A = this chain, B = another copy of it.
């Protein structure tokens, strides 16, 4: 690295978790040293991209959106393929959920690193968590640790991946957002797997979010937006 300043790049999806991470990064690295990256990978819910832009603006941080047309070409998952239904079951699942896009976070973080490489940035921040989640294997700590190694070796530069939410429950994530002054920005975020605004309240993502706010004893400002 040429600069003495530590810069951070946040992978920002426009959801609750990555928004919390953006505010975490601003708190940790300083607003001027943080930027955010969003991926347009053909998600059915285009509103996510708009949410990411608004969240970044609210936080006073730059946001770049990079296209990835490959996932749609791969096909076969419920987040990019409108012909596959998103399950609203919350019961035990023996297989990966229909919303699993193989390698999605691996790809996001690798492209984020490629962007960071060109912008003198070595800290990458992602909102993945192994707690309270639906068994996405690319959200596990072991995956992120291995990927940090692969990317650092593959680009011959030491990247440091930060996962502030890795071991936090949804309740704890809401509490963190409150502490960081990120609560207002939650009104700008998007969570619902069914793309509804206000949220459908029935899909697994909505239920997890609602439970987190309820357990933290905080009113979700998203519910008061129209």
Q: Tell whether, in the assembled complex, residue B150 and residue A143 are in contact, meaning their CB atoms are under 8 Å apart.
A: yes
Interface string of A123-149 (1 = CB under 8 A from B): 000000000000001101011001101
Report the bound CA distance from A142 to B96 in whole Å: 30
A9 in the interface (beta carbon within 8 A): no
Task: Report which residue of A66, A101, A156 has the largest number of chain B beta carbons within 10 angstroms of its beta carbon.
Answer: A156
A150 touches which one: B66, B71, B101, B106 (CB < 8 A)? B106
Check A155 for interface membership: any CB of B closer than 8 A. yes
Chain B residues with Cβ under 8 A from A155's Cβ? 102-103, 137-138
Tell me, in angstroms, the Cα distance from A153 to B117 when the chains sit together: 24
The docked-state distance in angstroms from the alpha carbon of A155 to that of B104 is 9
For A137, the closest partner residue in chain B by CB is B156
* Residue from the list B66, B143, B153 in contact with A153, Cβ < 8 A: B143
Question: What's the number of copies of this chain in the assembled complex?
Answer: 2
Give chain B residues whose Cβ lies under 8 Å from the Cβ of A73.
Answer: 66-67
Contact with B along A9-32 (1 / 0, CB 8 A): 000000000000000000000000
A72 CB, min distance to chain B CBs, angstroms: 9
Residue A194 at the B interface, CB < 8 A? no
What residues of chain B lie closer than 8 Å to A115, measured between beta carbons? 74
Q: Contact check: which of B67, B68, B70, B156 meets A96 at CB < 8 Å?
A: B156
* Chain B residues positioned under 8 Å from A150 (CB to CB): 106, 143, 146-147, 149-150
- From 63 to 116 in chain A, residues with beta carbon under 8 angstroms from any chain B beta carbon are 66-71, 73-74, 76, 96, 101-103, 105-107, 110-111, 113-115
Q: 15 new A-B pairs (CB below 8 Å) besides A66-B73, A66-B74?
A: A66-B70, A68-B69, A70-B70, A74-B114, A101-B114, A102-B113, A102-B114, A103-B110, A106-B154, A107-B111, A137-B154, A143-B150, A146-B154, A147-B154, A149-B149
Subset of 16 A-B contacts with CB under 8 Å: A66-B73, A68-B70, A74-B114, A74-B115, A96-B156, A102-B113, A102-B118, A102-B155, A103-B110, A103-B155, A106-B154, A107-B114, A137-B153, A142-B153, A147-B150, A149-B150
Please name the 5 residue pairs, one residue from A and one from B, whose CB atoms are nearest each other, closest first. A137-B156, A146-B150, A138-B154, A147-B150, A102-B114
